Structure 1
Amino acid sequence: MTGRAATRRPGLARVGATLARAWRAVSWYVKEVVGENDYEHYVAHLRRHHPEARPVSRREFERAKLDRMASDPGARCC
């Protein structure tokens, strides 16, 4: 009976790995859609194209982002 249980574990490990990979993909997608990764993209862009520039803090970035959204509501539905 122990041999039978041992043969099931690799299948369960694959299922677990597949579920974990799917969860990471869904999590990444949701973060991209709602804009949670915008600051990381901003910092990566700044380092790649403007290495001498110092990035603003996350708080300053988010404040500026909200100000832009409030001043130009054309892309929103409400």
Structure 2
Amino acid sequence: MVRFGRDQGGRAVQDRVPGPVRRALRRLVAVVHDLTGEGAYLLYCEHHKRTHPGQPVLSERDFWRERYLEQGHDPGSRCC
């Protein structure tokens, strides 16, 4: 959820933002989140727990290390 903080009167700023604008901002944050790959580790954790119950999940650091190594070996559609 998009958090805007509080104004000088202590009221939540998001309370003054119209609903459609708030929803659009939430969607924008979600798109940026997906484009930057921030949700990749959470998706991995959910998938791993569902498909490999009882097995340990990689730490976030190890997950990213393996992901970048894999991208280096299989660049896909990247040019470099």
TM-score, with length taken from structure 2: 0.69
Structure 2 regions of 5+ residues with no counterpart?
A: 1-14
- The CA RMSD over aligned residues, in Å, is 1.8
Higher helix share: 1
Q: 1:13-49 CA deviation, whole Å, 9 max, x = no partner?
A: 6852222211111111121122111100000111222
Q: Of 14, 32, 36, which aligns to 2:34?
A: 32
Q: Which residue type is aligned with residue 73 of structure 2?
A: S
The aligned residue for residue 46 of structure 2 is 44
Say which SS state the counterpart of residue 18 (structure 2) adopts.
helix
Q: How many residues align?
A: 66
| Structure 1: 5+ residue stretches without partners | 1-12
Percent identity over the alignment is 36
Q: Following superposition of structure 1 onto structure 2, how do residues 1-78 of structure 1 map, counting pairs within 5 Å? A: 16-78=18-80
> Normalized against structure 1, the TM-score is what?
0.71
For 1:35 and 1:71, locate their aligned partners in 2 and report how far apart those are by CA, in whole Å.
18
Query: Residue 73 of structure 1: SS of its match in structure 2?
Result: coil
